[in-house]
Structure 1
Amino acid sequence: MSSKTVDKALQVLDMFTLEHPKWGLRELSRALDMSHTIVHRMLTTLEERGYVYRSVDTQKYELGIKFLELSNIVEQHFQISEIIHPIMHKIASETGESVVMTLLDNEEGVFSKIVESSRLVRFAGSVGRRSPLYIGASHKVILCHLPKDIQRRIVHEGAVQHPGLIPSETDMLEKLEDIERKRWAYSSGETISDVAAVSIPLFDYGNMVLGSLSIAGPSYRLTEEVAEHILPDLIRHRGELDSVLSKVCFPTRRNYLLESLH
């Protein structure tokens, strides 16, 4: 199989997201700007291997059970959830809010683990959700620890794509410097409407930024004042998490972002 064929197959798979988990053949061909015949051939092969399946009722394609198998392999390889979950659960119990672990993958932050609050009104995010690094505390606290040239490029691209979120590139870069200095960030209504978060960075075995840990909840309840009050609950458990993360190598796409730090 040629590299171009593999790349096209991966482009097809990348189209299946939380926001758009189902695709019709022609709809997917148009979105990818690929030949209907090529996409059909890709989907047929992927379906045969269990990576996608076609619903009999809707005739639309969805991700298949193979990805569940693969995710279980990754989970078993890490054996990390059973260690991290109790720490996150402890923070959630102490603060009464949800706790979210976000990982850096390529130039996005991905919600990788969520321990929900026991309250009736709570954080409504879902595992697997991706967001640009210039949106929300959980992502900005990652972005501020990337090389400066990459920060500037990501902020510039964000200003072009979402000028309402970044009216001034200079102000955003100054804010990132402030977050890096404080080593925590707060935001309200950025990543998810009516949701606020206070976040701290997480680092891997090489002391390179891996992701972030956040306390998240409704904006009316998790004000900035309240966030500063409960921030010590996050910081107090940093040592426990660091001792775990320093021994783990996560297979996220970070190398090209971080190689200039060496």
Structure 2
Amino acid sequence: MGPTEKLGESVRAVDRALEILMAFTATDHQLTAGELLKRVDLSRPTLYRLLRTLEHSGFIVSSGDPQRFELGPSVAHLAHVWSSSLDIATLAQPMLRRLWDQTGETVALLVHQGNSRICVAELPSAQPLSFKRGLGYREDVTLGASGRAILAHVPTPESYLNKSGETVDVPAYLDRLQQIREQGYAISRDELIQGAVAIAVPFFLGDDKVMGSLAVFGPGVRVDQARVSVFATLLKEEARKLSQALGQR
């Protein structure tokens, strides 16, 4: 079997596993294998193979005799991540709106998840020349201003480096994070999008755990160093208000 065929099989397996997870509902949260077979178009051996895989990853748990299946703790973890992000996005709307009004550029809220940061709220600039990432946009947390603003405040940032085959000068990168901590914001120019400038500031939970970053994106022709300083000041103030709303003293 060639690489393309293997990839196709892997994608089909993922689709089938998702069909199994989506077969459960609020009123049918426990199902037998026979009940699942009525809801998904799978053979019994394939169903059991996928159930074993999902159970191993914590997405399914089984109990009883006859055996019944239900959603497991990994699903609860994803639901928690999603609901937490959604709550923060709602809470941050006044801060994002003020930043949008004051800067005239695209503003975004990004949350830290694993090795990534994810855009959970965005107000695109109304100007013809502008940049935006889009809701759900995910990028490595080591890249870009919005990622480094987060990474500068995690306990062991070096553990996130050199994960994807790239070679990073770790001491130089950590020095850069120290500079971000000292100045209170991160900046990138022409890094992930040619011609774009990004300025980002972290926000925190009540226990001072970094949760994500607020960011402003704009074209370099408008966002010169003077405007970077202005935007950074505005971002710091709104990030402070968001952190206070999340319980930080």
Normalising by the smaller structure, the TM-score range is: 0.5 to 0.7
Instruction: Determine helix, strand or coil for the equivalent of 2:216.
Output: strand
CA–CA distance in structure 1, aligned partners of residues 198 and 11 of structure 2: 43
Whether 2:122 is the aligned partner of 1:114: answer: yes
Matched positions, count: 196
Unaligned runs of 5+ in 1: 1-25, 51-69, 248-262
Q: Which residue of 2 aligns with 1:42?
A: 17
CA–CA distance in structure 2, aligned partners of residues 86 and 49 of structure 1: 37
CA–CA distance in structure 2, aligned partners of residues 216 and 201 of structure 1: 15
Q: Which has the larger radius of gyration?
A: 2
Whether 2:96 is the aligned partner of 1:125: answer: no
Once the two structures are TM-superposed, the CA of residue 126 in structure 1 deviates from its matched residue by 0.8
Considering Cα pairs closer than 8 Å and 6+ residues apart, tell me whether 1 or 2 has the greater RCO: 1
The 8 Å contact of residues 138 and 200 in structure 1, kept in 2 or not, is answered as yes
TM-score under structure 2 normalisation?
Answer: 0.66
TM-score under structure 1 normalisation?
Answer: 0.63
Cα deviation code 1:209-253 (max 9, x no counterpart): 000111111233223442113221112323321222228xxxxxx
Give RMSD over aligned pairs.
Answer: 3.5
Match of 1:134 among 119, 131, 142: 142
Q: Counterpart of 1:157 in structure 2: which amino acid?
A: K
Identity of aligned pairs, percent? 21
Q: Which residue of 2 aligns with 1:219?
A: 220
Whether 2:206 is the aligned partner of 1:205: answer: yes
The 8 Å contact of residues 29 and 39 in structure 1, kept in 2 or not, is answered as no
The 8 Å contact of residues 132 and 217 in structure 2, kept in 1 or not, is answered as no
CA–CA distance in structure 2, aligned partners of residues 110 and 43 of structure 1: 22
CA–CA distance in structure 1, aligned partners of residues 182 and 121 of structure 2: 26
Instruction: Determine helix, strand or coil for the equivalent of 2:234.
Output: helix
Stretch moving more, 99-108 or 113-122: 113-122
Unaligned runs of 5+ in 2: 26-78
The 8 Å contact of residues 99 and 115 in structure 1, kept in 2 or not, is answered as yes
